[in-house]
Protein backbone atom coordinates (compact mmCIF):
# COMPACT_ATOMS: atom_id res chain seq x y z
CA UNK A 1 0.00 0.00 0.00
CA UNK A 2 2.85 2.39 0.79
CA UNK A 3 4.31 1.84 -2.68
CA UNK A 4 0.90 2.43 -4.28
CA UNK A 5 0.37 5.70 -2.36
CA UNK A 6 3.93 6.76 -3.29
CA UNK A 7 3.19 6.17 -6.98
CA UNK A 8 -0.03 8.17 -6.75
CA UNK A 9 1.80 11.07 -5.06
CA UNK A 10 4.17 11.28 -8.04
CA UNK A 11 1.28 11.75 -10.48
CA UNK A 12 -1.40 13.67 -8.58
CA UNK A 13 -1.54 16.82 -6.46
CA UNK A 14 -4.49 15.65 -4.37
CA UNK A 15 -5.38 12.07 -3.45
CA UNK A 16 -8.53 11.28 -1.47
CA UNK A 17 -8.70 7.86 0.17
CA UNK A 18 -11.97 6.75 1.76
CA UNK A 19 -11.78 4.36 4.68
CA UNK A 20 -13.96 2.93 7.46
CA UNK A 21 -14.88 5.16 10.43
CA UNK A 22 -12.35 5.80 13.20
CA UNK A 23 -14.40 3.64 15.57
CA UNK A 24 -14.12 0.64 13.23
CA UNK A 25 -10.39 0.21 13.77
CA UNK A 26 -7.03 1.65 12.84
CA UNK A 27 -7.47 1.98 9.07
CA UNK A 28 -7.81 5.77 9.16
CA UNK A 29 -4.63 6.21 11.20
CA UNK A 30 -2.68 3.76 9.03
CA UNK A 31 -3.78 5.49 5.82
CA UNK A 32 -3.19 8.88 7.45
CA UNK A 33 0.37 7.84 8.24
CA UNK A 34 0.92 6.69 4.64
CA UNK A 35 -0.55 9.85 3.11
CA UNK A 36 0.61 12.29 5.79
CA UNK A 37 -2.84 13.87 6.05
CA UNK A 38 -6.24 13.12 7.55
CA UNK A 39 -9.65 14.75 7.19
CA UNK A 40 -12.46 13.56 9.43
CA UNK A 41 -16.11 13.26 8.36
CA UNK A 42 -18.48 13.83 11.27
CA UNK A 43 -22.16 12.91 10.95
CA UNK A 44 -24.54 15.33 12.63
CA UNK A 45 -26.49 13.70 15.45
CA UNK A 46 -24.71 10.34 15.38
CA UNK A 47 -20.95 10.86 15.75
CA UNK A 48 -20.05 10.70 19.43
CA UNK A 49 -17.78 13.57 20.47
CA UNK A 50 -15.82 11.68 23.12
CA UNK A 51 -15.25 8.62 20.94
CA UNK A 52 -13.96 10.86 18.14
CA UNK A 53 -11.65 12.70 20.55
CA UNK A 54 -10.32 9.40 21.91
CA UNK A 55 -9.68 8.01 18.43
CA UNK A 56 -7.93 11.21 17.29
CA UNK A 57 -5.73 11.43 20.41
CA UNK A 58 -2.81 9.39 18.92
CA UNK A 59 -2.46 11.75 15.93
CA UNK A 60 -0.02 14.06 17.73
CA UNK A 61 2.38 11.09 18.01
CA UNK A 62 2.10 10.16 14.34
CA UNK A 63 3.35 11.87 11.16
CA UNK A 64 -0.19 12.98 10.29
CA UNK A 65 -1.43 16.50 9.62
CA UNK A 66 -5.10 16.86 10.58
CA UNK A 67 -6.61 18.85 7.71
CA UNK A 68 -9.96 19.43 9.36
CA UNK A 69 -13.46 18.05 9.56
CA UNK A 70 -16.43 17.77 7.23
CA UNK A 71 -19.83 18.03 8.93
CA UNK A 72 -22.20 15.67 7.13
CA UNK A 73 -26.02 15.38 7.15
CA UNK A 74 -26.69 18.89 8.45
CA UNK A 75 -30.39 19.72 8.58
CA UNK A 76 -30.74 23.30 7.27
CA UNK A 77 -34.09 23.65 9.04
CA UNK A 78 -32.55 23.32 12.51
CA UNK A 79 -32.04 27.09 12.71
CA UNK A 80 -28.25 27.28 13.12
CA UNK A 81 -27.61 28.30 9.52
CA UNK A 82 -29.74 31.40 10.04
CA UNK A 83 -27.21 32.77 12.53
CA UNK A 84 -24.38 32.82 10.00
CA UNK A 85 -26.45 34.00 7.05
CA UNK A 86 -27.67 37.00 9.02
CA UNK A 87 -24.26 38.69 8.92
CA UNK A 88 -22.04 36.87 6.43
CA UNK A 89 -23.04 36.69 2.76
CA UNK A 90 -22.77 33.30 1.09
CA UNK A 91 -23.82 31.15 4.07
CA UNK A 92 -27.49 30.96 3.18
CA UNK A 93 -28.98 27.84 1.64
CA UNK A 94 -29.66 28.09 -2.08
CA UNK A 95 -32.40 26.70 -4.27
CA UNK A 96 -31.60 24.16 -6.98
CA UNK A 97 -33.15 24.52 -10.43
CA UNK A 98 -34.37 20.96 -11.11
CA UNK A 99 -34.14 21.28 -14.90
CA UNK A 100 -30.72 22.94 -15.02
CA UNK A 101 -29.27 21.28 -11.92
CA UNK A 102 -27.73 24.64 -11.00
CA UNK A 103 -27.72 26.45 -7.69
CA UNK A 104 -29.85 29.59 -7.81
CA UNK A 105 -28.78 32.65 -5.84
CA UNK A 106 -31.25 34.86 -4.03
CA UNK A 107 -29.17 37.89 -5.05
CA UNK A 108 -27.75 38.64 -1.59
CA UNK A 109 -24.32 37.15 -2.05
Residue range 6-44, pLDDT digits in tens? 999 899 998 889 998 888 888 988 999 999 999 988 888
Dihedral class, residue 16 (left if φ above 0, else alpha if ψ from -120 to 50, else beta):
beta
pTM (predicted TM-score): 0.61
- Give the residue from 82, 89, 33 showing the smallest Cα distance to 61: 33
Spatial separation of the C-alpha atoms in residues 2 and 35, rounded to whole Å = 9
Q: Residues 46-100: pLDDT tens digits?
A: 888 888 888 888 888 999 999 998 888 877 776 655 555 555 555 555 555 566 5
Amino acid sequence: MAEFIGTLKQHYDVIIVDCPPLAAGGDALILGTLTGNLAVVIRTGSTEKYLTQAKLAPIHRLPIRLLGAVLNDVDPSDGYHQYYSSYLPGYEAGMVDEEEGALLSDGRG
